[in-house]
Amino acid sequence: MGRYVIRRLLQMIPVFIGTTFIIFAMVHALGDPVAALFGDKAPDPAVAAQIRNQLGLNDPLIVQYGNYMKGIFTGSLGNTFSGQPVTELLKTAYPTTLKLALVAFTIEVVLGITLGVISGMRRGRFADTGVMVMTLIVISIPTFVIGYVLQYLFGVKWGIADATVPDGAPFSSLILPGFVLASVSLAYVARLTRTTIAENSKADYVRTAVAKGLPRRRVITHHLLRNSLIPVITFLGTDLGALMGGALVTERIFNIKGVGYYLYQGILRQNTPTVVGFVTVLVIVFLLANLLVDLLYAVLDPRIRYA
Amino acid sequence: MPDQQPNKPDGVPDDANTELSSAFAQTPTLGAMEVEGMLEKEDLHHAEAQSSESVGITDREVPRSLWQDAWRELRRNPVFLISGVLIIFLVTVAFWPGLFDSTDPLSCNLANSQQGPTSGHPFGFDTQGCDVYARTVHGARASITVGVFATLGTALLGTIMGGLAGFFGGWIDAVVSRIADIFFGIPILLGGLVFLSVIPSRSVWIVVAFIVVLGWPQIARIARGAVITARQQDYVTAARALGAGNSRLMLRHILPNALAPIIVVATIALGTYISLEATLSYLGVGLKPPTVSWGIDISSAADTFRNAPHMLLFPAGALCITILAFIMLGDAVRDALDPKLR
Amino acid sequence: MGIQTSEITAVVGRDRTADSEDAPLLQVRDLHVEFRTRDGLAKAVNGVNYSVRAGETLAILGESGSGKSVSSQAVMGILDSPPGFVTGGEIIFKGQDLLKLHSEQRRKIRGTQMAMIFQDALSSLNPVHTVGTQLGEMYRVHAGTSKKDAKVKAIELMERVGIPAAKERVNQYPHQFSGGMRQRIMIAMALALEPDLIIADEPTTALDVTVQAQVMELLADLQAEYNMGLILITHDLGVVADVADKIAVMYAGRIVETAPVHELYKRPAHPYTRGLLDSIPRLDQKGQELYAIKGLPPNLLRIPSGCAFNPRCPMAQEICRSEVPPLHAVTEADGTPLPGRGSACHFWKETIHG
């Protein structure tokens, strides 16, 4: 286990540097941040040069990147062009997005696995066909289309849920957006669970469990499910990336002022520090989630642990 | 078959499995996960012969290859037939939109703004007064072009990179795997928001290139796993012993056996790439007018959805049917190529 | 079919009365199993009869697809259903027909009164639970033992089957054991509640030759110690010779020959059995070409008419293609009965005497 953890951590280092550097470089290609600072007015060249110097924009990109990384490890993401620390902006935005992600993740896990288990245990029956068709349809509809349609139906036409999320984003108003955000992932989770259940139910060790005279319920919970959920959990972890991307879309539809909203504003205004800061934090969260999943995987599957 | 668990550590040396374990990515990953089980198969046809033997059906009078078998299976699968017909139809629309519509999607009359369906204009008009039917018909080309070429690109790049990593192992493998991890570490929509907003003129090909750049690691991991599995087969050792060179080994012996899982993942990914293009266009970083695309139309119809839902529903419907057709095709192909699930 | 069934029962019946007073532990009568596959109906077991007494070892011999594993899975009640279905016959275990019991009643018999050992211990043990958990599960579920006591018992079991350092290894996972040790754990698991009958499905096929002998020896010792009935399913004539009391040879879902073990080797009464014996390399026939049964095992979707072996049989005549041979009682050339022997061949006389 120890060796495995260390190896994963070491592998993380180049990936972390590579990913953040690419993001950093791309954002800096966004355009001249100083020009953006002045908006439509043409800046005085002397002033612009001075600002450039102040911000260190004349250094080679790699040096700028190095300075930025130094900042990250000391908990600073720099200031936005309006002088506000990016970390402060993050503190405003993050709780909302975190809440949204939490709601979505819960829906994805509970509903996805339940549907998948039902479907996998009743392969070929009506319930299975129903789940398969439904998930196929959900996967085929892009999140933003599902979002608008559900927003219209639930929020406007029937008035069951809030069509837009008010400031402060109480949990009750996040259920509909959470469901929209979870929809595609939950369909994938259901299908994956079904596949692994169906596959493992033919496994030799399940036959052994039956031959041992274990009650059906114990065979399912202790042997079939325990083994089948390992790949599902792996998927759930890595699916966080999709959830983050989806959050950008969902926040826009439901007018939620979370990470996606500020990021989007940042890009529109070419506010480089905001964009770099937000994207870097998201990527770090994603990488950490992947690492966590790998470790969890080793805990769940002893064959990896002792490999 | 000693063990059919996915991700088993034995049988695949180095850290093949820990790599695979993190091979599930953002959106188009489910196919990848389902396919992983297939990688454990020494040779898919072999596996099928074995599973039939367990019930004692040995049909050796008519030996069939995996591909013949898969084709026979596909022809009988209604899902395949339906999706096949749909895809042929959609491709026809994409190539010859004039067959279905004689209006110019770019000639619009503001007087018709947001009008609902009328005779001669079954889908109504959008805010600019353009005919929604014409735009829906002409929008097929962008979606299908992005889907098909992004898939070809990721499959090609992914197979080459993954194949090299799996075949040579060692430091080549380490380097390729790390590079793949780097691109894998960027959630695709997030990457789209940053990368594509840098580029002012975004043609279909820019979007294709973007998807290929962020999408290839998924295929590469599948290809790497498949090649490692194939490389260990006895017939490969035998071919090597008989003096076959590296390129011959790769092209003649390993590639054909590693191809099935790659094809399955790629087909399923095609549908999700179309969805991705629409989402990128919706976020304002995908295609741009005057390109006619469903994503653009849905995006611009979104604000007025409550008043004029037809503007959104028709292109969205066309988009969903297209994605559905490709995902169904992928499903059918997977079922045909993965005998274990039969 | 009618004639055949009665004849077999005749043979089995005589066998029983000849050897012992009490009823056998397990008696399988006219068992039929079929698989409803997409390609059609596969008749995996077509009227099989056999019996096992306490302390006795019956070897069921056959190549893959002969129905040997399927028939034993039907006995255990672990047939994959669908596609497999028992379509006829009786499985009488300790006086009651298992096929007439409810699934819950059958479940309670599994593990406690009859147990099964599988071929591939690595895939047959659950990879994510320790061996201790998997062994202890038998006591926990069937006897309601506490977690702690179950572990103690698991350690005892492991010691009983000769696993060194059982106290430490009880917390290890299956993949951390060698093949032979894993198979010992399978045996321990089957043995846990001291069942009356153990079915071992190719228990040594996946092992090295030296380990094979050790495992078979262990199995035989334990069987003698607990006076269990043992059904040994194998395709390997070599494994059987030392351990089994009697052999049933299966082909295409039927028993084609039954005999006490040593008699079968000395004088096979079915061309298929003879072919099997002739295809074993022997030191005294060095330099000669090794015999091989020509042709391939039959397709269970299309079993040849008449005797299923006829397309591969060197002695096949017209009758073999038209009539299914019943299991004839085998006698000496002068008509002296040979107890326990039967052959489903029209030309058994020629085979054994000619």
Report how far residue A216's alpha carbon sits from residue A226's, in angstroms, rounded to the nearest whole number.
14
> Is C273 or C13 the better-scoring residue by pLDDT?
C273
Q: Give the nearest partner residue to C300 out of B8, B57, B60, using CB atoms.
A: B57
Confidence of residue A211 (pLDDT cuts 50, 70, 90): very high
The full length of chain C comes to: 354
Nearest CA in chain C to A227: C128
Q: In the structure encoding, which two tokens stand for residue A177, read together?
A: 């957006």
CB contact under 8 A, B21 and A307: no
Q: In the structure encoding, which two tokens stand for residue B71, read together?
A: 């084709």
DSSP state of B251: I
Q: What are the chain C neighbours of A222 within 8 Å (beta carbons)?
A: 129, 137
Q: What are the chain C neighbours of A208 within 8 Å (beta carbons)?
A: 118, 124-126, 189
CB contact under 8 A, A213 and C108: yes
Q: Does C128 reach chain A within 8 Å, measured CB to CB?
A: yes
Task: Give the position of tokens 């009008």.
Answer: B115
What pLDDT, on the 0 to 100 scale, is given for residue B25?
Answer: 31
Report how far residue B49's alpha carbon sits from residue B53's, in angstroms, rounded to the nearest whole number.
6
Does residue B75 carry a pLDDT above 90? no
What pLDDT, on the 0 to 100 scale, is given for residue B340?
Answer: 52
What pLDDT, on the 0 to 100 scale, is given for residue A186?
Answer: 92
The values of phi and psi at residue B141, to 5°, are -60, -45
Instruction: Work out the average pLDDT over B195-221.
Output: 85
- pLDDT tens for B78-95 read 888 898 999 999 888 888
Q: Which residues numbered 183-202 in B keep a CB inside 8 Å of some CB on A?
A: 183, 185-190, 193-195, 197-198
Q: Give the nearest partner residue to C299 out of B4, B9, B57, using CB atoms.
A: B57
CA atoms within 13 A on the CB side of C216: 25
Q: Partners for A (CB, 8 Å, 3+ pairs)?
A: B, C
CB pairs A-B closer than 8 Å = 194
Q: In the structure encoding, which two tokens stand for residue A307, read together?
A: 């490999």
Instruction: Work out the average pLDDT over A77-93.
Output: 78
CB contact under 8 A, B2 and C120: yes
What is the percentage of chain A residues whose pLDDT exceeds 70?
92
What pLDDT, on the 0 to 100 scale, is given for residue A205?
Answer: 92
Q: Give the nearest partner residue to A199 out of B37, B186, B321, using CB atoms.
A: B37
> Is B111 or C127 the better-scoring residue by pLDDT?
C127
Confidence of residue B18 (pLDDT cuts 50, 70, 90): very low
Could you give the C-alpha distances from C169 to A302, C25, C130, C159, C172, in angstroms and in order?
Answer: 14, 35, 9, 10, 5
CB contact under 8 A, C64 and B53: yes
Q: What are the chain A neighbours of C118 within 8 Å (beta carbons)?
A: 204, 207-208, 211
C81 CA to chain A: closest CA distance, Å? Answer: 11
A288 CA to chain C: closest CA distance, Å? Answer: 25
CB contact under 8 A, B327 and A184: no
The values of phi and psi at residue B218, to 5°, are -60, -50
Q: What are the chain B neighbours of C123 within 8 Å (beta carbons)?
A: 1-5
> Are C66 and B56 a contacting pair, CB within 8 Å?
yes
Q: Does B8 reach chain A within 8 Å, measured CB to CB?
A: yes
Could you give the C-alpha distances from B79 to B272, B275, B332, C265, in angstroms and in order?
Answer: 18, 20, 6, 56
Confidence of residue B37 (pLDDT cuts 50, 70, 90): very low
Position A227, amino acid: N
CB contact under 8 A, B316 and A301: no
Q: What are the chain A neighbours of C196 within 8 Å (beta carbons)?
A: none
Handedness of CA A20, A22, A23, A25 (dihedral sign): positive
- Mutation target for A interface from C102, C128, C177, C205: give the one with most A CBs within 10 A: C128
What pLDDT, on the 0 to 100 scale, is given for residue C155?
Answer: 93
Cβ-proximal residues to A251 (8 Å cutoff; 6+ apart), any chain = A97, A100, A177, A257, A258, A259, A260, A261
Q: Mean pLDDT in chain B?
A: 74
What pLDDT, on the 0 to 100 scale, is given for residue C353?
Answer: 80
Does residue A263 carry a pLDDT above 80? yes
The values of phi and psi at residue B233, to 5°, are -70, 150
> Is C347 or B101 the better-scoring residue by pLDDT?
C347
> Are B137 and B97 a contacting pair, CB within 8 Å?
yes
Lowest mean pLDDT among A234-238, B13-17, C203-207, C283-287: B13-17
CB contact under 8 A, A302 and C78: no
Q: In the structure encoding, which two tokens stand for residue C112, read together?
A: 């406690």
Dihedral angle of Cα A64, A69, A75, A81, to the nearest 10 degrees? 30
- pLDDT tens for C78-129 read 888 778 889 988 899 988 898 888 888 889 999 899 999 988 888 899 988 9
Confidence of residue B120 (pLDDT cuts 50, 70, 90): low
Confidence of residue B63 (pLDDT cuts 50, 70, 90): low
Nearest CA in chain A to B324: A140
Does residue B151 carry a pLDDT above 90? yes
Q: Does C179 reach chain B within 8 Å, measured CB to CB?
A: no
Instruction: Work out the average pLDDT over C294-311.
Output: 84
CB count within 10 Å of CB A89 equals: 23
Does residue B322 carry a pLDDT above 70? yes
> Are A93 and A259 a contacting pair, CB within 8 Å?
yes
Q: Which residues numbered 233-252 in B keep a CB inside 8 Å of some CB on A?
A: none
Does residue A59 carry a pLDDT above 80? no
The values of phi and psi at residue C341, to 5°, are -105, 140
A190 CA to chain C: closest CA distance, Å? Answer: 22
Q: What are the chain B neighbours of A15 within 8 Å (beta carbons)?
A: 178, 181-182, 185
- pLDDT tens for C47-88 read 899 999 988 999 998 888 888 889 999 999 888 877 888 998
Could you give the C-alpha distances from A253 to A107, A144, B307, C39, in angstroms and in order?
Answer: 19, 7, 16, 51
What pLDDT, on the 0 to 100 scale, is given for residue B155?
Answer: 93
CB contact under 8 A, B55 and C122: no
- Going by DSSP bridges, is the β-strand pair C229-234/C57-61 parallel, antiparallel, or unpaired? parallel
Q: What is the ipTM of this complex?
A: 0.83
Nearest CA in chain C to B6: C127
Q: Does C127 reach chain B within 8 Å, measured CB to CB?
A: yes
> Are A230 and A293 a contacting pair, CB within 8 Å?
no
Instruction: Work out the average pLDDT over A205-221.
Output: 91
Instruction: Work out the average pLDDT over A199-224.
Output: 90
CB contact under 8 A, A264 and B21: no
Cβ-proximal residues to C311 (8 Å cutoff; 6+ apart), any chain = C295, C298, C304
- Let me know if B219 is exposed, middle or buried by CB neighbors in 10 A (0-12, 13-18, 19+): buried
Instruction: Work out the average pLDDT over C249-275.
Output: 89
Report how far residue C231's alpha carbon sits from residue C57's, in angstroms, rounded to the nearest whole number.
6
Task: Give the position of tokens 């290809």.
Answer: B223
Does residue A191 carry a pLDDT above 70? yes
What pLDDT, on the 0 to 100 scale, is given for residue B112?
Answer: 67
Instruction: Work out the average pLDDT over B171-192.
Output: 87
Q: In the structure encoding, which two tokens stand for residue B168, read together?
A: 């040579």
Q: What are the chain C neighbours of B54 within 8 Å (beta carbons)?
A: 64, 69
* Alpha helix segments (H runs only) across chain B: 16-21, 30-39, 44-53, 66-75, 78-95, 132-168, 170-184, 188-198, 204-231, 234-241, 246-248, 255-282, 294-302, 310-337
- pLDDT tens for B250-305 read 777 777 777 878 888 888 888 889 889 888 888 888 888 778 888 888 888 877 77
Q: Does C83 reach chain B within 8 Å, measured CB to CB?
A: yes
Nearest CA in chain B to A190: B30
Position A60, amino acid: P
Decide: pTM greater than 0.90. Answer: no
> Are C30 and C89 a contacting pair, CB within 8 Å?
yes
Lowest mean pLDDT among A129-138, C217-226, C238-247: C238-247
- The DSSP result for C162-228, as a single string, is T-TTHHHHTTS-GGGS-HHHHHHHHHHHHHTT--SEEEEESTTTTS-HHHHHHHHHHHHHHHHHHT-
What pLDDT, on the 0 to 100 scale, is given for residue B19?
Answer: 35
What is the percentage of chain C residues whose pLDDT exceeds 90?
21
Report how far residue B102's alpha carbon sits from residue C117's, in angstroms, rounded to the nearest whole number.
73
Report how far residue A51's alpha carbon sits from residue A57's, in angstroms, rounded to the nearest whole number.
8
Q: Which residues numbered 20-49 in B keep a CB inside 8 Å of some CB on A?
A: 21-22, 24-27, 29-30, 33-34, 36-37
Lowest mean pLDDT among A116-125, B196-205, C14-23: C14-23
Does residue C351 carry a pLDDT above 80? yes
Confidence of residue B20 (pLDDT cuts 50, 70, 90): very low
For residue B208, the SS3 value is helix
Instruction: Work out the average pLDDT over A243-257.
Output: 87
Confidence of residue C169 (pLDDT cuts 50, 70, 90): very high
Report how far residue B292's alpha carbon sits from residue B276's, in angstroms, rounded to the nearest whole number.
16
Report how far residue C354's alpha carbon sits from residue C344's, in angstroms, rounded to the nearest whole number.
16
CB contact under 8 A, A213 and C129: no
For residue C138, the SS3 value is helix
Instruction: Work out the average pLDDT over A265-292.
Output: 82
Cβ-proximal residues to B121 (8 Å cutoff; 6+ apart), any chain = B112, B115, B131, B132, B133
Q: Give the nearest partner residue to C65 out of B2, B56, B342, using CB atoms.
A: B56
- Let me know if C339 is exposed, middle or buried by CB neighbors in 10 A (0-12, 13-18, 19+): middle
Q: Does C317 reach chain B within 8 Å, measured CB to CB?
A: no
What pLDDT, on the 0 to 100 scale, is given for residue A39?
Answer: 59
Cβ-proximal residues to C237 (8 Å cutoff; 6+ apart), any chain = C61, C265, C276, C277, C280
Q: In the structure encoding, which two tokens stand for residue C10, read together?
A: 């005749």
- Let me know if A75 is exposed, middle or buried by CB neighbors in 10 A (0-12, 13-18, 19+): exposed
Nearest CA in chain B to C206: B2
Q: What are the chain C neighbours of A227 within 8 Å (beta carbons)?
A: 126-128
Instruction: Work out the average pLDDT over C215-239.
Output: 87
Q: What are the chain C neighbours of B76 within 8 Å (beta carbons)?
A: none
- Mutation target for A interface from C73, C129, C169, C233: give the one with most A CBs within 10 A: C129
What pLDDT, on the 0 to 100 scale, is given for residue A235?
Answer: 85
